[in-house]
Each structure stands twice: as structure tokens, then as C-alpha cells.
């Protein structure tokens, strides 16, 4: 018997057939209500037409609307669950296809990293990571749609979990992990909230085929085992001092596992050994964001800072000595490098007196007097009784000769220190003279001690300089006493 539809029903079917779903739904909503529901035959015809056109999302939307108008009808409920399952499966297939694309790109990116040098590796890695994150976000959006269709389905939940892990959204990943555990503990084949909540009455068989729980767990264990094997291989490379190969292998490993903390920490260690402190510090900060309470992360952070601090201090001392040996003009680049090392070291330990002292000396020789005054102020705030190396007797290379000639005569040494501090240091010519004096006086003192020379001869040589210093100092003191009266 041929079924006859009303003109309005025929109009809606025609709109659906011509792919004008929005107009058809608008007419459907205005024509039917709970008091005036559509007939079952009409609903079945519309559902069939939408499926024929492959409009699975629209079919699910249509059946969801129909289920609010016709309740407790077994055939309507069956069509609703069929629409839900078809729509859900389609979304899962689409999302998995995007994830497969990401995996294929990951393989291609790994090959490109192998041929890249250290200068371009960071840039290539950032570009690759951005491309992968775009794909993971695209897959996540589709998995979220599937989750809205079937909130307790494992395929959507585990897919969202994987995407959030790849995107480093740890909080969301933890929440999904708890929800997945909750679903795993439920009785097999049961999906609560089916009836009366708009959910499915039971777990569809297709859900179990999407991403079965046991294979997923075994896959994770297999991945972890593979990572451990790869980590042992990379550690062996590092111990053999094959840092370039170790770094390339870690780049590939972390491209596919960006939140693998042991890999991040090992890469930071390799970079630190190569004295690439900034990228190493970024990796440790990233590990802290992922799991700041992990004792391995805290231990690696402290070890990194200690190692960096030792290297910076050693480098600063070496550069400073080279600068003092060459003088303020020829040694300028060494003073700048020493200052750079000292600034970084002071970020780690801002109250280290020796570093503050060396920084003050570097600024003096670089003629950055305003900064030198600030550095001296910072030094004396930390240690008020401390005498800067630049001004200290005997322990400073600037006072070797005077200290040898005037041993036991602190007043004479004070004259020389004042002369150096007040008259030589502020001028370029004075600093040039001091650099020359610093470079040669240790050799003179060593030679004098080697041949057993009496301090009398160096004292006679330095007598005119001391007389000049005494005169200048007396003039300065008289000026200082006269200045208050003038004011």
C-alpha cells in the first residue's frame, strides 16, 4: 500500500532531497510539535533520505529533534541510536585519519631533522611542532564532537586524551584519564545514563571496535618500553661524548613525545655539556611546567644551575685575567666577555661577593663609570666591610710592586691606593697606565724575589710617584676642608 504524505510533509522531504537541510528543518519545526507530532512513516522517509545523501550529522540532528516530539516509541528510539552510532563512527574515522596524517608528518619531520645543523635545528623543530599541533587541534575538535554525540564512548575519550597529551594540556589530560578509568570500571556492555538522559541504552558494538581498552593499554606499555630502550642508546652516545648524534636522536624522540620528561632532561644535559645554556634552560623550564613536583626535574634543575655557575665563574676569571694582561684598550673584548659571564652568574647567585667584585673591576676598565658606581654600591650592600680587589693591597695585581717595596708601611700603600683610585682610574690615560703597570709589575716582583733583591731599590724607584701621591692627597684633603666653609 502506497503511503501518502501531506503537502507540508512532501515539501520537507523535497527540501531534504535537494540538500536544503536548514530550510527543511525550519519548516519541520514550525509544522510539528509534541501535541502535533509527525507520523512514523514520514520520519522514516526523512531519515532514509538523509542517509542516502550521506548527511549523517543532519540525520542525527533530525532524529534528536524527533525524539523530543515522539517519546517511548521503540522504532524512533532504534533510528535515533542508529543515527547516533553512524554519526559517531564517522567522526571517529575522520579524527583518526587526521591523527594518521600527524604520524606520517612526524616521520617526515624526523628525517628532515637528521640532516639539519645545530643552527637550523631549533627553527625547523619549532616549525614542525607548530604544524603537528595544528593537526592535533583539528583532531581534538572532531573527537570533541564525537564525545558530545556519545559522552561515555571510549573511542572519543581516549582520542581526546591523546590529543591533549600531544598539545601539552596536562590538566585536561589528567581529567580525561580519570574519566577513562571510571568508564573502564563500569560493567562491560553497559553505558549508564541511556534512558531519560538522551544517551544510548547500551555500549554499541562498534565502540568496542574503535579503540579497545586492553590493546590501548598494551600499546602504551610497548611505547614506554621502546622509549626506555631508545633512552639507553642515547645515554650511551652521550657517555661516549658523541653529543651531536645524541642531540639528533633526542630531537627525533621528543618530536613524537614532547612531554617525555627523561628525554627533556637528557637533552638539557647534553646542551649544557655543549655550553648551550639558554636552550637547556628552556627545556628544564618546560619539564617543570609538565611536572614541577617530580624529584628528577628538581634534581636536574639544581645540577644544571651548579654546572652553569661553575663554567660561568671559570670563564669570567679567565677573560678577566686576559683583559688585565692586555690592558684596557687591547683587552676590551675580554672585559666584555667577562662581564657577560658575570651577569649570567649573578642571576644564579646575586649575592656572591667575588662575582660582584669582578663585575666592578670589568666596568671600571670598560669606562662604564655610572654602572661601576652602582656595582660598587651593590658590593658594599652585600658586604659593608669588604675592600674591592681593585682597591686592595697586595692581593690585587695592581699593587704587586708597591706592596713589595713598602711592606709593613700601610700609610705608603694607602697613598698609592688613593692615587690610583682618585687620580688614575677616572681618566682614560690613567687607566692605560694602570693596565701597563698591571701587566708588568707581577713580572718585576717575581724577578726581584727570584734574585733576592732588597725592597729598597723598588722603593727608591717609586719614591717620586709616592711623593706625587702624597702631594695630591694633601691638596685634596685641604680642598675638602675648605669646601664646607665656602658653602
> What per-residue confidence (pLDDT) applies to 390?
61
Question: Which of 274, 292, 310 delimits the end of a domain?
Answer: 292
Residues 90 and 203 in one domain: yes
Residue 332, in any domain of the structure: no
Q: How confident is the model at residue 236 (pLDDT cuts 50, 70, 90)?
A: confident
Q: Is the dihedral of CA 338, 343, 347, 352 positive or negative?
A: positive
35: Cβ contacts below 8 Å, ≥ 6 apart: none
- Distance spanning both ends of the chain, measured CA to CA: 122
Question: Which of 262, 292, 322 delimits the end of a domain?
Answer: 292
- In the chain, the number of structural domains is 4
Residues 120 and 177 in one domain: yes
Length of the chain: 487
Q: Is the dihedral of CA 114, 115, 120, 126 positive or negative?
A: negative
Helix axis angle, 74-114 relative to 118-149, nearest 10°?
Answer: 180
Nearest residue to 17 (alpha-carbon basis) of 43, 55, 44: 55
Q: How confident is the model at residue 477 (pLDDT cuts 50, 70, 90)?
A: low
The DSSP line for 294-356 is -HHHHHHHHHHHHHHHHHHHHHHHHHHHHHHHHHHHHTHHHHHHHHHHHHHHHHH-TT-HHHH
Average pLDDT, the chain: 77
Q: How confident is the model at residue 2 (pLDDT cuts 50, 70, 90)?
A: low
> What per-residue confidence (pLDDT) applies to 300?
85
Average pLDDT over residues 463-483: 71
Distances (CA, A) of 202 to 84, 87, 127, 156, 193: 12, 16, 44, 16, 9
Residues 405 and 430 in one domain: yes
CB of 397 closer than 8 Å to CB of 327 = no
Residue pLDDT, tens place only, 420-452? 777 777 777 777 777 777 667 767 777 777 787
Does the pLDDT of residue 126 top 70, yes or no?
Answer: yes
How many whole angstroms from its chain centre is CA 3?
67
Q: Long-range contacts for 349-355 (Cβ within 8 Å, ≥24 apart)?
A: 349/309, 351/382, 353/379, 353/382, 353/383, 353/386, 355/313, 355/316
Residues 94 and 194 in one domain: yes
Question: Which of 153, 176, 211 delimits the end of a domain?
Answer: 211
Residues 124 and 240 in one domain: no
Residues 110 and 191 in one domain: yes
80: Cβ contacts below 8 Å, ≥ 6 apart: 63, 64, 66, 67
Q: How confident is the model at residue 210 (pLDDT cuts 50, 70, 90)?
A: very low
Nearest residue to 437 (alpha-carbon basis) of 314, 279, 324: 324
* C-alpha cell at position 380: 658594599
CB of 61 closer than 8 Å to CB of 25 = yes
Residues 158 and 137 in one domain: yes
Residues 224 and 207 in one domain: no
- Among 35-49, 110-124, 313-327, 431-445, the least confident range: 110-124
Please tell me the pTM assigned to this model: 0.44
Residue 343, in any domain of the structure: no
Which domain covers residue 276, as residue numbers?
A: 220-292
Q: Which residue has the higher pLDDT, 250 or 420?
A: 250
Residue 40, in any domain of the structure: yes
62: Cβ contacts below 8 Å, ≥ 6 apart: 25, 28, 46, 47, 50, 83
User: pLDDT over 90 for what percent of the chain?
Assistant: 2
Residue 366, in any domain of the structure: no
> What per-residue confidence (pLDDT) applies to 140?
92
Q: How confident is the model at residue 304 (pLDDT cuts 50, 70, 90)?
A: confident
Residue 224, in any domain of the structure: yes
Q: Which residue has the higher pLDDT, 58 or 117?
A: 58
> What per-residue confidence (pLDDT) applies to 461?
80
Residue 328, in any domain of the structure: no
Q: Side-chain half-sphere of 409: how many Cα atoms within 13 Å?
A: 15
> What per-residue confidence (pLDDT) applies to 114?
60
Residues 402 and 444 in one domain: yes
Residue 307, in any domain of the structure: no
Task: List phi, psi (to 5°) of 201.
Answer: -70, -30
Does the pLDDT of residue 93 top 80, yes or no?
Answer: yes
CATH number of domain containing 234: 1.25.40.10
> What per-residue confidence (pLDDT) applies to 465?
78
Residues 258 and 180 in one domain: no
Average pLDDT over residues 118-129: 71
Residues 146 and 54 in one domain: no
Residue pLDDT, tens place only, 338-394? 898 889 888 888 888 888 888 888 888 887 888 888 888 888 888 777 666 665 533
Torsion region of 200: left, alpha or beta (phi above 0 gives left; psi -120 to 50 gives alpha) = beta
Q: How confident is the model at residue 198 (pLDDT cuts 50, 70, 90)?
A: very low
Q: For residues 67 and 368, give the distance between their C-alpha atoms in angstroms, rounded to a whole number.
A: 80
Q: For residues 118 and 340, give the distance between their C-alpha atoms in angstroms, rounded to a whole number.
A: 23
Burial 293-330 (b: 16+ CB within 10 A, else e): eeeebeebbeebbebbbebbbebbbebbebbbebbbee
Residue 229, in any domain of the structure: yes
> What per-residue confidence (pLDDT) applies to 392?
53
CB of 335 closer than 8 Å to CB of 319 = yes
Amino acid at each position: 500500500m502506497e503511503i501518502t504524505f501531506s503537502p507540508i510533509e512532501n515539501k520537507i522531504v523535497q527540501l531534504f532531497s535537494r540538500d536544503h537541510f536548514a530550510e527543511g528543518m525550519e519548516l519541520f519545526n514550525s509544522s510539528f510539535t509534541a501535541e502535533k507530532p509527525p507520523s512514523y512513516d514520514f520520519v522514516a522517509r526523512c531519515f532514509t533520505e538523509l542517509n542516502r545523501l550521506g548527511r549523517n550529522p543532519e540525520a542525527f540532528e533530525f532524529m534528536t529533534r524527533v525524539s523530543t516530539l515522539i517519546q517511548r516509541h521503540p522504532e524512533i528510539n532504534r533510528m535515533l541510536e542508529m543515527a547516533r552510532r553512524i554519526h559517531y563512527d564517522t567522526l571517529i574515522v575522520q579524527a583518526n585519519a587526521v591523527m594518521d596524517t600527524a604520524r606520517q608528518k612526524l616521520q617526515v619531520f624526523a628525517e628532515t631533522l637528521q640532516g639539519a645543523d645545530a643552527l637550523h635545528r631549533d627553527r625547523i623543530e619549532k616549525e614542525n611542532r607548530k604544524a603537528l599541533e595544528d593537526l592535533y587541534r583539528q583532531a581534538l575538535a572532531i573527537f570533541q564532537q564525537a564525545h558530545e554525540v556519545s559522552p561515555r564512548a571510549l573511542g572519543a575519550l581516549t582520542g581526546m586524551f591523546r590529543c591533549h597529551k600531544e598539545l601539552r594540556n596536562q590538566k585536561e589530560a589528567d581529567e580525561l584519564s580519570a574519566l577513562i578509568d571510571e568508564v573502564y570500571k563500569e560493567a562491560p556492555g553497559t553505558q549508564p545514563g541511556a534512558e531519560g538522559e538522551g544517551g544510548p541504552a547500551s555500549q554499541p558494538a562498534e565502540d568496542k571496535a574503535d579503540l579497545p581498552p586492553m590493546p590501548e593499554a598494551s600499546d602504551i606499555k610497548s611505547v614506554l618500553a621502546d622509549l626506555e630502550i631508545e633512552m639507553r642508546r642515547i645515554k650511551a652516545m652521550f657517555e661516549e661524548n658523541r653529543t651531536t648524534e645524541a642531540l639528533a636522536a633526542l630531537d627525533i624522540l621528543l618530536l613524537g613525545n614532547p612531554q617525555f620528561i627523561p628525554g627533556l632532561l637528557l637533552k638539557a644535559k647534553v646542551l649544557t655539556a655543549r655550553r648551550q645554556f639558554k636552550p637547556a634552560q628552556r627545556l628544564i623550564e618546560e619539564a617543570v611546567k609538565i611536572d614541577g613536583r617530580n624529584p628528577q626535574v628538581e634534581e636536574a634543575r639544581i645540577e644544571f644551575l651548579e654546572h652553569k655557575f661553575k663554567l660561568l665563574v671559570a670563564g669570567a676569571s679567565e677573560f678577566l685575567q686576559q683583559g688585565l694582561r692586555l690592558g684596557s684598550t687591547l683587552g676590551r673584548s675580554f672585559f666584555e666577555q667577562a662581564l657577560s659571564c658575570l651577569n649570567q652568574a649573578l642571576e644564579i647567585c646575586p649575592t656572591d661577593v667575588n662575582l660582584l667584585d669582578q663585575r666592578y673591576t670589568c666596568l671600571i676598565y670598560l669606562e662604564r663609570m655610572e654602572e661601576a658606581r652602582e656595582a660598587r654600591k651593590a658590593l658594599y650592600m652585600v658586604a659593608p666591610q669588604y675592600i674591592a680587589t681593585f682597591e686592595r693591597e697586595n692581593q690585587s695585581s695592581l699593587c704587586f710592586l708597591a706592596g713589595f717595596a713598602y711592606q709593613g708601611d700601610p700609610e705608603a700603600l694607602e697613598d698609592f691606593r688613593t692615587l690610583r683610585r682618585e687620580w688614575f682610574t677616572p681618566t682614560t690615560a690613567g687607566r692605560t697606565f694602570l693596565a701597563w703597570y698591571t701587566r708588568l709589575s707581577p713580572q718585576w716582583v717575581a724577578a726581584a724575589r727570584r734574585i733576592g733583591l732588597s725592597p729598597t731599590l723598588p722603593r727608591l724607584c717609586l719614591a717620586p710617584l709616592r711623593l706625587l701621591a702624597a702631594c695630591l692627597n694633601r691638596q685634596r684633603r685641604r680642598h675638602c676642608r675648605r669646601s664646607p666653609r665656602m658653602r
